C-alpha cells in the first residue's frame, strides 16, 4: 500500500512538473523538429543563435522587474527602443565619432528612458489592473509621436549637421541610417555586448535581493497588503517601469549596433512581441518570471525562429510561407503560453 502511495505521489509530481513546464518542453520539441526539417548545419545554427542571443537578451531582461511588481508584460518597452533610436540619430546627425559617440549615445538613451519611464509609470499607476493593454497603447502612441518628429520636425524645427541624413526635399530622415561607426566599435571590442548582458543580469539579481525587490514582490502579491504595510506602492511601481525602460533602451542599442544600421521607422516594431514570446517560451507567466526563463526562452524561441523559414520552405516548397512562420510562431507562443498558464492556475 505504501509503495503504491509513493508511486502515486511520484506520478502526480511528474505530471504537475510536466504541466508547469509544458511551454518550454513544447518549444524544445518544435525546435528539434525544425532543425531536422530545415537541414541546417550545427555550425550555422550555433553562429546564428549566438548573434540572436547577443542582440535580444537584454530586451527580454527588461520585462522581469514589472512582472515582479505584478504589472504583467510591459509592452511599453517599445518606448525604450525609441529612446535608443532617437539618441543614435541625434549623435549621427551631429557627426560625433569614436568612443565618445558610443558613450554619448548610451548616456543620452538612459536619460531619455529615465524621463519616459517616469511618465509611463505615472500613467500605469492611473490604470491599475489594466497595465498591459495601457502599456501597449502607450507604445503605439510613442511610435506616432516619434514618427511625427522624424518625418516632419527633422529638417524644419530640428536642423541636422549631417544633411545627407535628410530626404531629397530636405524634410524628414531617410528610412535607413548608417551606424557603421558603432558597428566598428563592436568589432574592435566584441566583448561589449556580452559585458552589457552580464551587467544587466547582475543588476536584476541585485534588484531582486534589494529592499526595492522585496517591496516589489510584496506589491506583486497584493497591493492592498503592501499598502497596509507602509510600502509606497505607486512609487515602487513607477521605479519598476523606469528600470524596465532604461534596460530596454540598452537592449535596443546593442541590437542596432550589432547590425550596424538603423531602420528609422520600423526598426522598433515587434520588439515587445518577440521579447514577450521569448520570455513566455522559457516558462514564465504573467505573474512570475526569473532569469532562467529569460535565458531558456531566448535559446528556445530564437532557435525555432532561425529554422522556421527554412523548415516551412522545405515542408511546403514555398519561401513566402516559410517567412510567415516567424510571425505565426511569435503570436502563437503568446496565446499558447497564456492558455497553459490559465489552465495551470485552475489546477493549482
Query: Residue 326: what pLDDT?
Result: 67
Judge whether residue 346 has pLDDT over 60: no
Q: Are 152 and 171 in contact (CB under 8 A)?
A: yes
Residues in the chain: 348
- Cβ atoms of 271 and 59 within 8 Å: the answer is yes
In which residue are the cell numbers 522559457 written?
A: 282
Q: Please report, rounded to a whole number, the percentage of residues in the chain having pLDDT higher than 70.
A: 89
- Residue labelled with grid coordinates 519598476: 240
Closest CA to 253 of 265, 240, 271, 273: 271
pLDDT higher than 80, residue 15: no
Q: How far apart are CA 348 and CA 343, in angstroms?
A: 9
Q: Are 233 and 219 in contact (CB under 8 A)?
A: yes
Burial (CB count within 10 angstroms: exposed 0-12, middle 13-18, buried 19+), residue 22: middle
Alpha-carbon distance values, 79 to 155, 170, 332 (Å): 23, 27, 24
pLDDT greater than 80 at residue 328: no
| pLDDT the model gives residue 169 | 79
Cα–Cα distance between 44 and 265 in angstroms, integer? 30
Note the pLDDT of residue 17: 67
**Rounded to 5 degrees, what are φ and ψ at 284?**
-75, 160
pLDDT for 308 equals: 78
Provide the 8-state DSSP code for 150. Answer: I
Q: Residue 286 has what pLDDT?
A: 83
Q: What's the CA gap between 12 and 5, in Å, rounded?
A: 10
Name the 3-class secondary structure at 262. strand
Could you tell me which residue, 193 or 161, shows the higher pLDDT?
Answer: 193
The answer to whether 154 touches 172, Cβ cutoff 8 Å, is yes
Which of 186, 173, 179, 157 has its CA nearest to residue 84? 179
Give per-residue burial for 210-228: e unless 16+ CB within 10 Å, then b.
eebbebbebbbeebeebee
Q: Which carries the bigger pLDDT value, residue 293 or residue 32?
A: 293
Q: CA 22, CA 341: separation in Å to the nearest integer?
A: 10
Q: What is the pLDDT of residue 139?
A: 94
What's the CA gap between 140 and 134, in Å, rounded? 10
Q: HEC states along 12-29?
A: HHHHHHHHHCHHHHHHHH
pLDDT at 13 over 90: no
Mean pLDDT of the chain: 86
Indicate if the pLDDT at residue 135 is higher than 80: yes
Whole-angstrom distance, CA of residue 281 vs CA of residue 296: 8
d(CA 325, CA 333) in angstroms, rounded, equals 12
Percentage of residues of the chain with pLDDT beyond 90: 49
**Confidence band for 8, pLDDT divided at 50, 70 and 90:** low
pLDDT band at 324; cut points 50, 70, 90: confident
Instruction: Tell me the average pLDDT across 292-314.
Output: 85
Strand partners, 176: 263
Residue 347 clears pLDDT 70, i.e. is over it: no
Supply angle C-alpha 192, 195, 198, rounded to 5: 155
Distance CA 23, CA 15 (A): 14
Per-residue pLDDT band at 1 (split at 50, 70, 90) = low
Distance CA 68, CA 74 (A): 11
pLDDT digits (tens, 9 = 90+) for 171-205: 888 888 889 889 999 999 989 999 999 999 999 99
Q: Is 147 helix (H, G, I), strand (E, B) or coil?
A: helix
pLDDT digits (tens, 9 = 90+) for 206-236: 999 999 999 999 999 989 899 888 899 999 9
Mean pLDDT lowest for which of 28-32, 50-54, 327-331? Answer: 327-331
Reduced to 3 states (helix: H, G, I; strand: E, B; else coil), residue 340 is helix
Mean pLDDT of the 81-90 span: 94
Amino acid at each position: 500500500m505504501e509503495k503504491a502511495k509513493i508511486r502515486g505521489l511520484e506520478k502526480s509530481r511528474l505530471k504537475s512538473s510536466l504541466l508547469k513546464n509544458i511551454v518550454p518542453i513544447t518549444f524544445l520539441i518544435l525546435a528539434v523538429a525544425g532543425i531536422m526539417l530545415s537541414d541546417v548545419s550545427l555550425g550555422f545554427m550555433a553562429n546564428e543563435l549566438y548573434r540572436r542571443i547577443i542582440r535580444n537578451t537584454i530586451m527580454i531582461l527588461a520585462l522581469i522587474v514589472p512582472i515582479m511588481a505584478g504589472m504583467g508584460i510591459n509592452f511599453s518597452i517599445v518606448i525604450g527602443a525609441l529612446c535608443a533610436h532617437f539618441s543614435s540619430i541625434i549623435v549621427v546627425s551631429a557627426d560625433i565619432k569614436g568612443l565618445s559617440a558610443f558613450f554619448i549615445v548610451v548616456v543620452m538613451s538612459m536619460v531619455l528612458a529615465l524621463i519616459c519611464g517616469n511618465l509611463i509609470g505615472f500613467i500605469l499607476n492611473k490604470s491599475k489592473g489594466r497595465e498591459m493593454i495601457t502599456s501597449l497603447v502607450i507604445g503605439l502612441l510613442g511610435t506616432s509621436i516619434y514618427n511625427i518628429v522624424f518625418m516632419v520636425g527633422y529638417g524644419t524645427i530640428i536642423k541636422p549637421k549631417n544633411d545627407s541624413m535628410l530626404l531629397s526635399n530636405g524634410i524628414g530622415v531617410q528610412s535607413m541610417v548608417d551606424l557603421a561607426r558603432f558597428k566598428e566599435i563592436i568589432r574592435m571590442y566584441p566583448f561589449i555586448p556580452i559585458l552589457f548582458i552580464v551587467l544587466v543580469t547582475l543588476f536584476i539579481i541585485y534588484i531582486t535581493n534589494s529592499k526595492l525587490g522585496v517591496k516589489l514582490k510584496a506589491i506583486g502579491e497584493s497591493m492592498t497588503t503592501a499598502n497596509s504595510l507602509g510600502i509606497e506602492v505607486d512609487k515602487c511601481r513607477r521605479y519598476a517601469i523606469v528600470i524596465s525602460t532604461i534596460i530596454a533602451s540598452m537592449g535596443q542599442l546593442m541590437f542596432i549596433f550589432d547590425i550596424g544600421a538603423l531602420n528609422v521607422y520600423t526598426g522598433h516594431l515587434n520588439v515587445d512581441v518577440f521579447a514577450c514570446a521569448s520570455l513566455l517560451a522559457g516558462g514564465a507567466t504573467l505573474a512570475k518570471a526569473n532569469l532562467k526563463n529569460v535565458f531558456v526562452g531566448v535559446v528556445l524561441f530564437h532557435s525555432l525562429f532561425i529554422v522556421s523559414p527554412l523548415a516551412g520552405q522545405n515542408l511546403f516548397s514555398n519561401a513566402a510561407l516559410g517567412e510567415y512562420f516567424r510571425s505565426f510562431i511569435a503570436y502563437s507562443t503568446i496565446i499558447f503560453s497564456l492558455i497553459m498558464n490559465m489552465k495551470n492556475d485552475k489546477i493549482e
